[in-house]
Each structure stands twice: as structure tokens, then as C-alpha cells.
Amino acid sequence: MDPLSEEDTKMYFYENRLKTFEGWPFNEDCMCTPENMAKAGFIHTPSENSPDVAMCFFCLKELEGWEPDDDPEKEHRSHSSSCHFINLKKSVEELSVEEILKLQKEKHKFILMKSCKEALARFEEAAKQKKADIKSAMGEE
């Protein structure tokens, strides 16, 4: 994974995040329009059962169950106060190369943390299943 590849950095730009909101259920007369969602760092990551899932491209925080009056920036800050993107004091276009490199380092920490949490959850589930299998084989229920 090249942390400075175009694929890895393209979501820093508002226009690219906005393009992901095709089919977003909130478009007018509400706070969580595609434009406001993209400004707050979100990309649209719908699933079959959840058409309003949005994830911060940076901290990977997923939120769903949006209401028309939800303010994307406030929701992002309240659910992921450690996100470096939502806490930027200037626009991406104003950042120096050094600042972008530091941001990328922080972004990759979020990616690694999420990956580790998912791996631990899979391990714990497999261990629980193995324990149940052993108990079943020994006649313990």
C-alpha cells in the first residue's frame, strides 16, 4: 500500500467525496445533504439494508440512521473527536507537503487500528466457536 498514491489520497478532495453520494436519501431541505456530508469528510458507503451509511474517509468512523436535521460536521465531531481531518484548521489545498505527510501518517494509524480490531473480533468469534465445539464433543452443553 503506497500511502501517497492517488487512490489513497483522492478522498482528501471534496469533489471526490461528493461523487460518492449518488443515491443518498437526503437531498434538499435538510442538514445532511450530500454537499454537507462531503464537507464533513464523509463518503457514502451504502449497503443493501442501510442506504444511509456514511464513513469518514480519514478516521473510518461509520454512521447511519441519519435524520434530516443532523448536522454532519457536529455528528462527526461528536462520534470521532480524534479525527484529524474534521479538526483541520485550514483547507486541504492550503496544507504544506509536510502537513499532508503527517495527516497520512495519522490516517494510516486509523486504518491499522480498524484492521486490528476486526482481526481480534474474528479471533474471538473463532475461539468462542471452538470452545462451543469442544464442549459439544465432550457432551457438555
Considering the domain boundaries, does residue 84 fall inside one?
Answer: yes
Quick one: pLDDT at residue 71? 96
* 135 falls within a domain: no
> Helix, strand, coil: what percent of the chain each, to 5?
50, 5, 45
| Domain-embedded: residue 45 | yes
The three-state secondary structure class of 122 is helix
- For the whole model, what pTM was predicted? 0.80
Structural domain including 104 reads: 6-115
Non-local (6+) Cβ contacts of 82 within 8 A are 59
Q: Under DSSP, is residue 42 helix (H, G, I), strand (E, B) or coil?
A: strand
Per residue in 3-38, pLDDT tens?
566 677 899 999 999 999 998 989 888 999 999 999
